[in-house]
Amino acid sequence: MRSQEGLVDRLGESVSEVVNRLGAVMAQSESERRSQLTVINELIVRNLLGMLATRHVGGRAVLYKLDADLGLEAVVSSGRLGQPRPFERGTARWRAVMEFLESGQPLICSDVEDPVQRPEYWEGTASGYRAFVSCPVVVEDQVFGMLTFDVPETGSLDRNDANALVIFAGLAACAANLVQDKLDSKATEGDAHG
């Protein structure tokens, strides 16, 4: 129970920093908002990693985003060295991750070496990690990307870790929506005047 209480305290501190930044971004111009999306995403990943690092040693947090070709690319990574592999469109790995993302639910894989535990078509490198938790990032019912946290110790991730990812994925969605809302309102204004 104590570890859960500590997690809640750290969650509050981590989330408040991101929420304060989001609040400041709301008053900014379109170009300022767009440039702040990267800064906010870095803050989200760094704070998620910092919070979960108190429970897990050697973890890595990654925010993936759908690219123009609908592949899934890592846009921010913090923790262990090494760039995460992209999910290339059309591959079995991509189809499996897209099915997971469209479910809208977090996923915990306690042991990537156990075929019963790991997701179908999982093709991760498992370089430096043996377990992971992932959560879709959804903006207005559309998949925007995925937030993941992986660790070298099997069986160490639990529902508390998944819940933390859900919260931070929601913040990433909120940040993306702030930029998108501003762009959408500009297009609507242009249509109304055109």
Identity of the amino acid at 53? A
* Mean pLDDT, each 10-residue run in order, the chain (194 residues): 59 83 86 85 95 92 91 93 87 91 94 87 75 94 94 94 95 89 45 44
Output the pLDDT for position 150: 95
Question: What is the Cα–Cα distance from 63 to 149, expressed in whole angstroms?
Answer: 9
Res 162: pLDDT: 96
So what's the pLDDT on residue 52? Answer: 93
CATH superfamily, domain at 2-193: GAF domain (3.30.450.40)
**CA 174, CA 22: separation in Å to the nearest integer?**
8
SS3 10: helix
Q: Are 113 and 155 in contact (CB under 8 A)?
A: no
- Token couple for 180: 């998108």
> What global pTM score does this model have?
0.86
Q: What is the spatial distance between Cα 2 and Cα 30, in angstroms, rounded to a whole number?
A: 44
Write down the pLDDT at residue 106: 96
3-state percent breakdown (helix, strand, coil) of the chain, nearest 5: 50, 20, 30
- For β-strands 142-151 and 107-109, DSSP reports them as unpaired
Where residue 176 falls (left for φ over 0; alpha for ψ -120 to 50; beta otherwise) is alpha
Question: Residues in the chain, how many?
Answer: 194
